[in-house]
Amino acid sequence: MELSTFLFLFGFLPLVGAVYFLIPARFRQTRNALLAAFSVLFYAAGGLRLIPVLCAAFLLSYLGGLAAGRPGRGGKWGCTAAIVANLLLLGVYKYAGVFTGAARALGVTLPVPAGLLPAGISFYTFQGISYLVDIRRGNATAQKNPVKLALYLFFFPHLVAGPIVRYREMEAEIDCRRESVELFAAGARRFCFGLGKKVLLANTFAQIAGKAFAGPTPLSAGLAWVGALAYTLEIFFDFSGYSDMALGLGNVFGFHLPENFDRPYLSRSVKEFWRRWHMSLSRWFRDYIYIPLGGNRAGTGRYIFNILAVWLLTGLWHGAKWTFVLWGCWYGLLLLGERFLWGRRLEKLPGFCRWAVTMLAVIVGWMFFRAGTAREAVSVIGNLFGIGCGPEDGRTTYLLLEYWPEWAAGLLACVPLKDLLSRRVKPGARSLTASLAALAVLALCYMALMDGSFNPFLYAQF
């Protein structure tokens, strides 16, 4: 089930909200059990075949957490075994195609089961691993109540596409959160604006990118840039929209989930970009891979190895394709370049120039991310820079003029427009103004969904 479907918006969400708030707040455990049960139901809507995967992930985290909390070698080996089992679960369901392809190259034929990839498996698997490691490090206590652990792992707003939540970020609020009218209203507004990002902007830019890249190749330079810019905006509004919806729903039920985006397209370096984009994933790799490997404290050679290793894994986390590997290596090399080659020179440039260089690097990176093959990615990147281009045929002008309202809205939504507008509205009227704007966005989304413009979330596949 997706957060922007009629089934969710007008069926599942009203039902879970009505039942949840009918239960008095003093029955906290009943409310927790209800949310956990509805979260499993939410996932099961994607197919009952997914439930065994969810159960396996839960058992590995629950039993592994109890084992990791034991002192001595027993706890260490129990934690290690549970982490390895989690990675095997992820490997079997996400990378089976790679394994069978490698086997075929060696002359061994293995069947490839259909429909292997459960939605969001990378997200809840990483949450389970962080839970186990934090227990072993002494940063968290093993949760003996299975309902509370299930609520943490599978809370439906962030189940499919994050953010990746640490256990300590939800632990206290599982028992002691305070729902309120103000928090509910703020969460509902944020959900509506996130829905607008997805339905009104991401879906439209997906259409533009699809039209730009679907034509005969090679592309003209103008058409390649239109497609690249459209995809750059599509993936941002798709993913940040989902994150806003997840955080808004968390507020509705009294939770404060971690922020996942902080205006990344205003960054003036690649390093800054990754402090602002998908922040929960960046923190996960920093705390559980990069720092344990030694970070930047083990000499230049080891630092280079650590950066490349982390970004290779980051690419593979997104999928078992060479394009994702190239995308990860692209960012690893860019970060090393900023550190050792051009970083100081870049800092001396005016802010606009640093932003333009950073966005150029990001846009090129998204072409690796989007492409089906490495050859396709290289071809499109070449077209961006006038290499091997086809002739202009009018499609560039058409896609710019036909969708100019969405282009304007998309570019404005990438800047802190909300902060600028809020300063011009009196404090007493901000809540009312924001609520009216959210209702207007919700109405526009309803009309767009009625028109059949829904597309699945890009990050649900990860």
Reduced to 3 states (helix: H, G, I; strand: E, B; else coil), residue 183 is helix
Task: Name the catalytic one among 158, 256, 278, 318.
Answer: 318
- Which residues, 6 or more positions from 149, have their beta carbon under 8 angstroms from its beta carbon? 58, 61, 62, 65, 131, 143
H runs (alpha helix) in 297-403:
300-318, 322-340, 343-348, 351-370, 374-384, 395-402
54 contact partners, CB below 8 Å, separation of at least 6 = 40, 43, 118, 124, 154
Nearest Cα neighbor of 317 from 275, 358, 288 is 288
How would you class 82 by CB atoms within 10 Å of its CB: exposed for 0-12, middle for 13-18, buried for 19 or more? buried
Closest Cα to residue 159, out of 70, 54, 84, 231? Answer: 54
Whether 318 sits among the annotated catalytic residues: the reply is yes
The DSSP H or E segment spanning 249 is helix 221-252
CB 249 within 8 A of CB 194: no
Cα dihedral 360, 361, 365, 366 sign: negative
Positions marked active-site: 318
